Amino acid sequence: MNLIYVNQLLKTINPLIQKYTSKLATKNSKAYLVILTVSFLSACASTPSHNTATSSSAEPSFMTESEEKPDSLEPYLKNLAQLHHIPLTDLQNAFQDAKTIPTVKKLVLPPAPGFKKNWKVYRSRFIEPRRFAAGQQFWKNNRRFIQQTADKTGVPAEVIVSIIGVETIYGKNMGNFSVRDSLMTLGFNYPETPNKKARETLFKSQLEDLVVLCWKENPKATPFKKCLNQSGSYAGAIGLPQFMPGSILRFAVDGDLDGKIDLRNSPEDAIASVANFLKVHGWVKGEPVYLELKDHEGAAESARILADGAPVAKLQLGDLVAQNIVDKNELPDNTPSLIVDLPSPDKNGGTEVRYVVGLRNFIAICEYNRSFFYAQSVAEFSEVLSGEISVTETAAKKKKKSTKSSSTKNKTKKKSSTKTSS
């Protein structure tokens, strides 16, 4: 969500970690780390956003490793008690058994030097038959409420369903780290990286949001502690849509109108919250998420020059039409646009790059998770869910089918990789 680079990164690789943690529960930690590293390297986009999850199956033994509480926790709690009018003893009790989790620290380390993100690999992790089948079922089970929400917010049903699928496979991978302990680990004991200080500030702020959120709902010792200690991703993201505590406070919605926000157990709350988040972050009803380039080599070359990797719509669609990059369409010429580059390095040192034109709704999805790979995966998975393309088809094939144009491939060799797209 509105979070940081690292959060995004975490979230991007999260489903992979979930997948492997459950498999590796009985294996030794060395094997775990090797596979974890491989999954990180193969799937992580460079600029991803907020959160992550982990397997909700039995906890692997490595997760029980822990360290003592940081010394600076006590003054932090005193400050929170004063700021938010929470009895200090309740706060202290709720953190009495809090633990730093070494695994969480390992999971936020940057990828190994030389790692190159790969769009095709990334996409294949998210757009696959199992997630698609689960998405169809989730949509069917909640069809009426999803449609009502789409009508109310202007966010299409398939986009809402897509996000919840990409996040957690509809609740299958919501994570089983203590949110309290994950956020305490990252807020007080972030690994020694250049951005350590900024990250600690951010995670301390999320921990504060968690405290506020839990106290608001449960101003009594036992339920308060239980709320803090609820399970989530190793970055502290919660529930079906993997909202960070701060996003729950600011953007979550009580969809089923039972007076509580429960993103873990209420599909309606999750659906309404995802749609509200996108609406608040600039979703434009009826506008596509992205446009394909024109199917000629020159369009991709022009796009390459304009691509800067930043999730900011600083271009205007009319200019891209004038430059023969996209077809003229019904959208106004001043529609904010950006070039999205999605590189797939190959074994021979070349890089095939898929370019698309992102529009305002692409940016809204980037607010959820600041990654081109993430946003484009959500967009293309929504196309699969709505039946525009099959789960085994790529969007490029869809384009060829719809334009019935020549077989010229829309790809270029990327000449430099100074950008930080996705």
CA dihedral 197→66→46→377, nearest 10 degrees, is -130
> Closer to Ca ion at the Cβ: 277 or 355?
277
Q: What mask of x and - would describe binding to Ca ion in positions 54 to 93, judged by CB under 5 A?
A: ----------------------------------------
Q: Measured from the CB atom, is 7 or 149 closer to Ca ion?
A: 149
Total number of residues that touch Ca ion (CB under 5 A) = 6
End-to-end alpha carbon distance in the chain: 14
User: Between residues 207 and 253, which has the closer beta carbon with respect to Ca ion?
Assistant: 253
Classify the phi-psi angles of 169: left when phi > 0, otherwise alpha if psi is within -120 to 50, otherwise beta: left
CB of 225 to Ca ion, least distance (A): 22
Backbone angles phi, psi at 292, to 5 degrees: -75, 155
**Binds Ca ion (CB under 5 A): choice among 167, 208, 269, 352:** 269
Candidates 122-130, 241-249, 264-272, 368-376; binding stretch for Ca ion (CB under 5 A): 264-272
Tokens of 22: 């459950």
What distances in angstroms separate CA 219 from CA 124, 222, 299, 341, one per listed residue?
Answer: 44, 9, 59, 48
Residue 147 CB, nearest approach to Ca ion (Å) = 19
Is-contact 421 341, C-beta < 8 A? yes
Taking CB under 5 A as the rule, which mask of x and - marks residues 230-259 in contact with Ca ion?
Answer: ------------------------x-x-x-
Which residue number, 208 or 269, has a Cβ lying nearer to Ca ion? 269
Specify the amino acid at residue 171.
G
DSSP 300-343: HHHHHHH----S---EEHHHHHHTTSS---SS-TT-EEEEEEEE
CB of 170 to Ca ion, least distance (A): 17
- The answer to whether 231 touches 177, Cβ cutoff 8 Å, is yes
The window from 233-241, 242-250, 266-274, 364-372 that contacts Ca ion (CB under 5 A) reads 266-274
- The answer to whether 340 and 421 are in contact (CB under 8 A) is yes
CB closer to Ca ion, 257 vs 312: 257
Length of the chain: 422
**Least distance between Ca ion and beta carbon 334 (Å):** 40
Residue 319 lies near Ca ion (rule: CB under 5 A): no
* Residue nearer to Ca ion on the CB measure, 273 or 361: 273
Report the interface residues with Ca ion, using CB under 5 A: 254, 256, 258, 260, 266, 269
